[in-house]
Amino acid sequence: MLVLTSVDEEKIREQRERDEFFWLDLLSPSDAELERLGELLSLHPVAIEDTREFGQRPKMDIYEQTILLVFYSARATGDPDWPAEPIEVHAYLSGSFVITVRREPCLVLDKLHGTLQDEPTKEEEILVYRILDGLTDAYYAVIDAVEREIDAVEAVVLSRPRRAHLSRIYRLKQCVHALLRLVSAQKEQHHDAVSEILSLSGFSHASRAYLRDVGDHLAQVAGELQRQSDDLMSLTGTYFNANSDRLTAVATRLTIGTTLFVAWTLVTGFFGQNFGWLVDHIRSGSSFFVFGIGGLVVPTVVLLALFYVKREDWF
């Protein structure tokens, strides 16, 4: 199959005259290139207008001889707070060609250039399947990247929760929700899209239902993203529970210290009273160590022993 990365009018006309299927992959084309492409391949003006304005929702628009499929892939960013981002691809499908238009680099499509250039098959369904399946399978690497970040946050939350961790959990949740919303929409429309693609005039079918396999992958990806979304919801609860446990531990330490200070205050307060007997009889160094130091040490030892014995029941 011929693979083009620019609007080469001569080669495109030759392919149309020979009625041979080809793939045109455009990265950030200008408005003039899109206009020229639309005139060359008789693409609907409304479809060209949609491709000028990226940020579309996943959708399928059916025109006379072509289908415009707004399809989303994804890539890992390496950012711990936002580990993945979607890649919007506009795919024009017909019985004679497939055109993909994107504004961002997509490693999956770049790798397919050489692979499909040497593809021996003439079945258009297999060629389109390779493109859509590659875009879908890119989500698996993204899911692994998000999973690593979730595991990392979970580890620090369980050991020492901080408010910054809660902010990071919410950002990860927003990232996963954005991907899940796109994949779910693509999964819902995929069955109808396959039926429309297979009914295109001149579009040759494969010996088995290749395109329907993309729907299975979309369902798997949606399920994994939903699981990660649920994990992040649970991790939010884990953060609050861990933070509550940490505050409880701090309150426990303060309670123990306060109890000791109550005992010490009681002892020092008693001996600080100006009773005549205390003033007249407690004067020697031995009396100071027995009543003064001993009066502080003994209750301290008793209370600490009691806290240690009851640590499982009280704390």
Q: Taking the domains of the chain in order of start, what are their residue ranges? A: 2-244, 251-314
**292 pLDDT more than 70:** yes
Count Cβ atoms below 10 Å from residue 301 Cβ, excluding itself. Answer: 10
pLDDT of residue 315: 57
Contacts of 164-171 spanning 24+ positions with Cβ under 8 A: 165/239, 166/236, 166/239, 168/80, 168/81, 169/232, 169/235, 169/236, 169/239, 170/236, 171/81, 171/82
pLDDT tens figures, 120-167: 666 788 889 999 999 999 999 999 999 999 999 998 888 888 888 889
**119 pLDDT more than 90:** no
**pLDDT-derived band of residue 313, with 50, 70 and 90 as boundaries?**
low
Range of 210-214, 281-285, 304-308 with top mean pLDDT: 210-214
* Helix pair 163-198, 210-271: axis angle to 10 deg: 170
pLDDT of residue 209: 74
Superfamily designation of domain 2-244: CorA soluble domain-like (3.30.460.20)
CB distance 39 to 60 below 8 Å: no
pLDDT tens figures, 19-53: 888 999 999 999 999 999 999 998 999 999 999 98
Mean pLDDT for the chain overall: 87
- Percentage above 90 pLDDT, the chain: 49
pLDDT of residue 221: 96
- Please give the average per-residue pLDDT across 171-185, as a whole number: 95
pLDDT of residue 268: 80
Kindly report the pTM of this predicted structure. Answer: 0.78
**SS3 per-residue string spanning 219-273:** HHHHHHHHHHHHHHHHHHHHHHHHHHHHHHHHHHHHHHHHHHHHHHHHHHHHHCC
pLDDT of residue 271: 73
pLDDT tens figures, 220-261: 999 999 999 999 999 988 888 877 777 777 777 788 888 888
